[in-house]
Amino acid sequence: MPRIALIQQNVSADIATNKKRTEEAIREAAANGAQIVCTQELFTTLYFCRTQDCGEFDAAESLPGELTASHQALARELGVVIVAAGFEKRATGLYHNTAWVVDADGAFLGLYRKMHIPQDPGFEEKFYFTPGDLGYKCFETRFGRIGVLICWDQWYPEAARLTAMEGAEILFYPTAIGWLPEEKPALGTAQHCAWETVQRGHGVANGCYVCSVNRVGTEGETEFWGQSFVSDYCGQIVAKASVSEETVLYADLDLAALEDHRRIWPFFRDRRIDSYGGVLKRWGK
């Protein structure tokens, strides 16, 4: 029964400070018994995608690289699995929104590059990020089989399904999502409800735990809504953080109960794979 921890934080303009505070939170999580620890999306920086600015590319890092090496050493020291998400420089002019997984012995298990890239006012991600090309993955860790998807990926049932089909029992969603002031009064409650509900539904449809970790604080006009949460294979919330407070959120996940649940709700058995060809089309007609 692994204990997971989600690190919900404010972020500053200083990258070194953000890395240091995240390391401190990982150490705190490990001291409190966490075995798998996950950061929020782009944890080293402010959410720079609010505008289009070529100067922001300076914050990108080679992955694997110095940052992932530091996580390998930390994971080895603490005996925890680390899931983190940052800004990858693959080459000049080629950048990704990327997560990585380090096992509890310090082994680097690999990268996941965000597949679905949004473009909305205040979320100018297509300017910065090339869509991922590594596919959907399951990472075999000491404490469980996990999949990682990033933020906008969380709206797509196909992404959750394919990750679960690779063997994932726990889906992690590092996230940076919030309200814009002109939308919050009329749409804020509905937006948050949709975000939480769709992810809980992925857990139900795939018999998985879902661990979604958001940031808090206001950056520019964007008010990040926090409320990191963990839901189980029935879609029930088992842990949830506040709207505005920094939190290390914990949950104990019963993988034996998940195994039993999948046996009596055999969604994968009953899938009609012969009838799903249409999902590969952009539209039905």
Q: In the CATH scheme, what is the homologous superfamily, with its name and number, of domain 3-280?
A: Carbon-nitrogen hydrolase (3.60.110.10)
pLDDT tens track for 194-208: 999 999 999 999 999
- Give first-to-last CA distance, the chain, whole Å: 46
285 pLDDT above the threshold of 80: no
| Residue 243 CB coordination number (10 Å) | 12
DSSP state of 252: E
pLDDT tens track for 56-113: 999 999 999 999 999 999 999 999 999 999 999 999 999 999 999 999 999 999 999 9
> What token pair was written down for 55?
């100067």
Q: Are 40 and 214 in contact (CB under 8 A)?
A: yes
pTM reported for the whole predicted model: 0.97
> What token pair was written down for 92?
């000049």
Residue type, 178: G
Residue partners of 97: CB distance under 8 A and separation at least 6: 41, 42, 85, 87, 88, 113, 114, 117, 125, 128, 129, 132, 150, 151
* Locus of tokens 């080679």: 62
Helix axis angle for 15-31 and 66-78, nearest 10°, is 20
Residues in the chain: 285
Distance CA(128)–CA(176), nearest Å, equals: 15
Task: Identify the active-site residue in 38, 41, 137, 211.
Answer: 41
Element (H, E) at 28: helix 15-31
DSSP state of 179: E
Q: What is the dihedral of CA 273, 197, 195, 246, to 10 degrees?
A: -130
pLDDT band, very low/low/confident/very high, at 281 (cuts 50, 70, 90): very high
Distance CA(124)–CA(103), nearest Å, equals: 32
Indicate if 77 belongs to the active site: no
Indicate if 41 belongs to the active site: yes
As a whole number, the mean pLDDT across the chain is: 97
158 pLDDT above the threshold of 80: yes
The mean pLDDT of 231-260, rounded to a whole number, is 98
pLDDT band, very low/low/confident/very high, at 284 (cuts 50, 70, 90): confident
* Locus of tokens 């997971």: 4
Task: Identify the active-site residue in 49, 88, 89, 114.
Answer: 114
pLDDT of residue 257: 98
Q: Any idea which of 78-92, 99-113, 244-258, 270-284 has the lowest mean pLDDT?
A: 270-284
Indicate if 114 belongs to the active site: yes
pLDDT of residue 214: 98
The mean pLDDT of 139-158, rounded to a whole number, is 98
126 pLDDT above the threshold of 80: yes
Distance CA(92)–CA(111), nearest Å, equals: 19
Q: How far is CA 273 from the centre of its chain?
A: 28
8 pLDDT above the threshold of 80: yes
Task: Identify the active-site residue in 38, 138, 151, 208.
Answer: 151
Burial of 157 (0-12, 13-18, 19+ CB in 10 A): middle
Domain boundaries, the chain: 3-280
Residue partners of 95: CB distance under 8 A and separation at least 6: 57, 60, 87, 88, 89, 128, 129, 130
